[in-house]
Amino acid sequence: MPDTHPTPTAPGGGLVPAPLSIDGPGRGTVRLGADTALAAGPGTEDTARWLRDTLGAAFGLPLPPGSGKTPDTLDLAVDPALPPEGYRLAADARWGVRITGGGPAGVFWGAQTLRQLLGPHAFRRAPLAPGRAAVLPEQTIEDAPRFAWRGMLLDVARHFLPKDGVLRALDLLAAHKLNVLHLHLTDDQGWRIEIRRYPKLTEVGAWRERTKLGHRTSPLWDERPHGGYYTQDDLREIVAYAAQRHITVVPEIDIPGHSQAAIAAYPELGNTDVIDTTSLKVWDTWGVNPNVLAPTDTTLRFYEHVLDEVLGLFPSLFVHIGGDECPKDQWRASATAQARIAELSPADEDALQSWFIRHFDRWLADRGRRLIGWDEILEGGLAPGAAVSSWRGYAGGIAAAKSGHDVVMCPEQQVYLDHRQHASPDEPVPIGFVRTLEDVYRFEPVPPELTAEQAAHVLGAQANVWTEVMDSQQRLDYQVFPRLAAFAEVAWSRLPAPAARDYQDFTRRMAAHYTRLDALGVGYRPPGGPLPWQKRPGVLGRPIDGAPPNV
């Protein structure tokens, strides 16, 4: 029998991330039912479609178009007086629900809040009980994000994630008001993007013969070939799907290190006067690889052609070129590299890495884009106009911000979600430091050493999901959730200093949020530890004891 008298959710609904303010509740409730109309003003069309696809499906609501003048209306509008990603959600029994955003993105984030307010049923794809009304208390919520860059890196190079998994990841980012997907598309272990000018990048570079199981010191191997790649149409679909959710997809093409998959496909890209690059295969293990790109004009032209196609697929202002973990041993032994170094000032291997970065910084700038790279691009001199992903700690980001360069804070000691969540031996393939849900909740992206002017260069923060030991969607879910919810609150909400944050309130709200994740089918780590099927006994990790350094 239909639930005609559902219990409304509590005021605020255990919202994650926490909004700026909640005024209410009133005495009444607002019901969204079969007669509720959806009035979508200019600029809100994507959100209207999303609401029909999600709330309409979850509750069996038609949500027909309306004018906003009837008492039973879900009204969407843009008001430029609000911050671009800010919104106001007002629920009143006299007229329904109004979501007003400073721009289209603000309206969409307000719709995400509405979905949370309606309870876990709103996160299902079909109604559990036909005729069930969607009910929420009268209230007004005002909200806007702290940071413009609220991101997650997804490494699809180490373990390929099929397209549907990427689309699912975008939905999960949107549900947490995160707005950047940094897609790590190339590495030593695989090349995942179709480049039509260079078909061997995917014919050869997208496949490895076998895969190390666990940490690189593990004796275990998965002897099955592994690989895959996204066609250009796949990537257009991913980018369009993200844009409908007001998420920017930032592509990463790694240079000059992390490039063995490309060299395996096109041996002339490597240091041919040092090693036989024709013998190289796509790498099957983990770590820092010595096989790096040769500093030749041939290499530059090759990657210009690659990036030409990348720019045609990704409208993102930023293009990530890696720039990290580039061993210099082959360059020291290469006459070709040494001849190039002799042309530079200062004349050393660090300057050669900077030469690579500066070339593509200029090349991207000439095409209206901006280069972003890992903090190693500081070595040998920071490329003019480049932005920095500060991963080795805070130091690179601090140095960059003090020099007037934009920064995304993603220190591995704080927000690398491949790091283990507990010291228990039951944690599957334990990597790195213990980073609990509370540790992530107390992460602060803006270092106190920065002045207000310097802090303005911190674009935001990013949680990084490296997949060496995440070989399935189940493993991804376990490592990412629930910690991504804590990270989302750090990136969105205006929280007090880390020690003053009310973690108990956050865990209270997470009790409601777990039911949403359950409805979405997310295999998160339960608060009490891994379930039997989430464990990976016998697969060696690399746990690091003690508290992570604050560097």
Helix (H), strand (E) at residue 187: strand 186-187
Amino acid at 74: L
Q: How many residues does the chain have?
A: 551
Give the DSSP H/E element, type plus range, for residue 402: helix 395-402
Catalytic residue among 187, 194, 375, 468: 187
Q: Are 211 and 247 in contact (CB under 8 A)?
A: no
* 135 neighbors 118 (Cβ within 8 angstroms): yes
HSE-CB at 314 with a 13 A cutoff on CA atoms is 28
Which residues, including other chains, have CB under 8 Å from residue 42's CB and lie 6 or more apart?
A: 78
Catalytic residue among 35, 45, 325, 348: 325
- Catalytic residue, chosen from 258, 320, 419, 457, is 258
β-sheet bridge partners, residue 207: 227
Judge residue 297's burial from the number of C-beta atoms within 10 Å of its C-beta, 0-12 exposed, 13-18 middle, 19 or more buried.
Answer: exposed
SS3 87: strand
For the question of residue 325 being annotated catalytic, the response is yes
Tokens of 437: 């849900």
Active site residue 143: no
Active site residue 3: no
Counting beta carbons within 10 angstroms of the beta carbon of residue 300, is it exposed (0 to 12), middle (13 to 18) or buried (19 or more)?
middle
Q: Is 272 exposed, middle or buried (0-12, 13-18, 19+ CB in 10 A)?
A: middle
Write a three-state SS string for 482-548.
Answer: CHHHHHHHHHHCCCCCHHHCCHHHHHHHHHHHHHHHHHHCCCCCCCCCCCHHHCCCCCCCEECCCCC
Q: What are phi and psi of 341, to 5 degrees?
A: -60, -40
Q: Which residues have a catalytic role annotated?
A: 187, 258, 325
